Amino acid sequence: SQPLAGGQAAELQSKVVPSKQIIHSNNMEMEPETMETKSVTDYFSKLHMGSLVYSCTSKRKNK
Amino acid sequence: RSRMEASCLELALEGERLCKAGDCRAGVSFFEAAVQVGTEDLRTLSAIYSQLGNAYFYLHEYAKALEYHHHDLTLARTIGDLLGEAKASGNLGNTLKVLGNFEEAIVCCQRHLDISRELNDKVGEARALYNLGNVYHSKGKNVANAGTHDPGELPDDVKNALQKAAKYYEENLSIVTELGDRAAQGRAFGNLGNTHYLLGNFRSAVLAHEQRLLIAKEFGDRSAERRAYSNLGNAYIFLGEFETAAEYYRRTLQLARQLKDRAVEAQACYSLGNTYTLLQDYEKAIDYHLKHLVIAQELHDKIGEGRACWSLGNAYTALGNHDQAIHFAGRHLEISREVGDRSGELTARLNLSDLQMVLGLSYSTNNSMMAESHAVENSLNGGRPRGRRYSMENMELMKLTPEKVPNWN
């Protein structure tokens, strides 16, 4: 390494500027969040499927 | 009335279609139009609120996301829809986490977990555990970032939060392994690895990220693969295995280029620059720091540019190229002033005065005298350099105590 800086000055600076603050760069790579999902069709299919199936079959029967 | 219901449903269906296609912005307009039209079917309304919340979450508009997930939660409770309440609580928890409200986030995610267990919903339980792990991880990282702690020297509250995160990720892992959900295992391994990294358990971090890498390759998920390489590089730095770290960072860089992600490419170059500094290969370090500098300028990332100049100043100093060192130290000073970085400004000033002194001395003093004074200084400090060259200082520390070095990643 290069000869630089006296000990006293380095002491002073190491208190003021911690080394990791300067070179810190938070690049830890996290995984994505998972969100819970709802859908209008989920509910729609559960609730209306009976009547829908009924109307379709009755239409077919009518034909 | 039925005409209105149909129109609300149609608008919501179009919103769903657009969000699934990846156009959340357009999806939001349709959902908001659906809300405007209104419906008396509270379950449909709950689904619309939930999707609006998620769309705003993905658009990074967290205040709006919070508002809609909160509406959804209230509605789910009103109609006594327990599964709906669990989902809304989980989403609210994730949103509160991003907003930094960790205590409320924990309450919400815990509610998601409790209901899932009550309903014997294993998938929901696993997802709630993952979310709880994420909240504790963020909480720990947030507190740690506020201070200036090195890994392994964490305050108790940070350590507690990170250990809880690890515990939740492990609980999640045991369920998703049982369920055979490989994608969920991949996510848990990645975040578990990062939690071990922050705790200073670098060997455990490597093991977890290796599993993450394996699963990413299974799925052909190149983004996840790149994340794993980068995280493996970080862990190997702290294990003092710089050659291995460099290899993983090179793979990160290769994938970043393939994926055409300039910000990630810049980060990989920066990491490689630092790694070659640790390997004392300053020519290669300069090469990568210059590549980082070019992209930082292209992306108008002033902080990154300042960091590049600081690193370049150090590397040129190490090579004895004081003219270039002064040039970059000067740029570092200018940028630090511009972005209001007081610490950076002070460092740059001291670096500049050091360099000016060295240049001044080189005209009046011979090198052997300087080498001699440095040897005296070293012996006074127990052989450890105590100069202002922090990267050098880090490198020495890493040789002495590979598991306890400042976190420059």
pLDDT tens digits, one per residue of B127-183: 999 999 999 999 999 887 766 555 557 899 999 999 999 999 999 999 999 999 999
Chain A's closest residue to B90, CA to CA, is A36
A13/B346 CB distance under 8 A: yes
Closest CA to B71 of B58, B88, B54: B88
Percentage of chain B with pLDDT > 70? 85
Residue B389 has pLDDT above 60, yes or no: no
What pLDDT score does B2 carry? 65
CA distance B292 to B270: 6
List CB contacts (< 8 A) between A11 and chain B: 386
Find the mean pLDDT for residues B2-24.
90
Packing angle, helices B262-278 and B302-319, rounded to 10:
30
pTM: 0.80
- Structure token digits, residue A28: 């830890």
ipTM above 0.85, yes or no: no
For the stretch B32-75, pLDDT in tens is 999 999 999 999 999 999 999 999 999 999 999 999 999 999 99
Closest CA to B323 of B371, B288, B276, B362: B362
Give me the residue from B9, B228, B393 closest to A19, CB to CB.
B393
List CB contacts (< 8 A) between B227 and chain A: 29, 31
Give me the residue from A5, A7, A22 closest to B344, CB to CB.
A22
For the stretch B298-322, pLDDT in tens is 999 999 999 999 999 999 999 999 9
List CB contacts (< 8 A) between A48 and chain B: none
Chain A's closest residue to B65, CA to CA, is A35
Coil, helix or strand at residue B10: helix
CA distance B22 to B19: 5
CA distance B130 to B108: 13
Find the mean pLDDT for residues B232-257.
96
Helix (H), strand (E), coil (C) string for chain A: CCCCCCHHHHHHHHHHCCHHHHHCCCCCCCCCCCCCCCCHHHHHHHHHHHHHHHHHHHHHHHC
Q: Which range has the worst mean pLDDT, B45-59, B79-93, B188-202, B348-362?
A: B348-362
CA distance A60 to chain B (A): 24
Interface probe with A: pick from B113, B148, B248, most Cβ of A within 10 Å: B148
CA distance B409 to chain A (A): 5
User: Which residues of chain A have a Cβ shorter than 8 Å from any chain B Cβ?
Assistant: 1-7, 9-11, 13-14, 16-44, 47
CA distance B252 to chain A (A): 11
Interface probe with B: pick from A11, A23, A37, A45, most Cβ of B within 10 Å: A23
Find the mean pLDDT for residues B266-273.
95
Interface probe with A: pick from B66, B85, B91, most Cβ of A within 10 Å: B91
Give me the residue from A2, A27, A37 closest to B54, CB to CB.
A37
CA distance B94 to B66: 9
What pLDDT score does A19 carry? 34
Closest CA to B374 of A10, A61, A36, A22: A10
A47/B43 CB distance under 8 A: yes
* B379: confidence class by pLDDT, cuts 50, 70, 90: very low
Q: How far is CA A52 from CA B18, B40, B42, B210, B343, in A?
A: 25, 20, 20, 50, 69
CA distance B210 to chain A (A): 14
B13/A10 CB distance under 8 A: no
Phi, psi of B240 (to 5 degrees): 80, 10
What pLDDT score does A38 carry? 96
CA distance A48 to chain B (A): 12
DSSP H helices, B21-61, are 24-37, 42-58
Positions in chain A short of pLDDT 50: 1-25, 50, 52-59, 61-63
Q: How far is CA A12 from CA B148, B198, B212, in A?
A: 17, 28, 43
B54/A35 CB distance under 8 A: yes
What pLDDT score does B151 carry? 58
CA distance B371 to chain A (A): 7
Closest CA to B82 of B52, B48, B120: B120
B186/A31 CB distance under 8 A: yes
Q: How many CB atoms lie within 10 A of CB A8?
A: 9
Q: How far is CA A30 from the centre of its chain?
A: 8
Mean pLDDT of chain B: 88
- Structure token digits, residue B158: 């940070």
Q: Which range has the worst mean pLDDT, B27-31, B134-138, B202-206, B367-371?
A: B367-371
Closest CA to B307 of B273, B357, B356, B257: B273
Are B108 and B90 contacting, i.e. CB atoms less than 8 angstroms apart?
A: yes
* B357: confidence class by pLDDT, cuts 50, 70, 90: confident
B343/A16 CB distance under 8 A: yes
Residue B340 DSSP one-character state? T
Closest CA to B223 of B192, B186, B184: B186
What pLDDT score does B143 carry? 83
B86/A36 CB distance under 8 A: yes
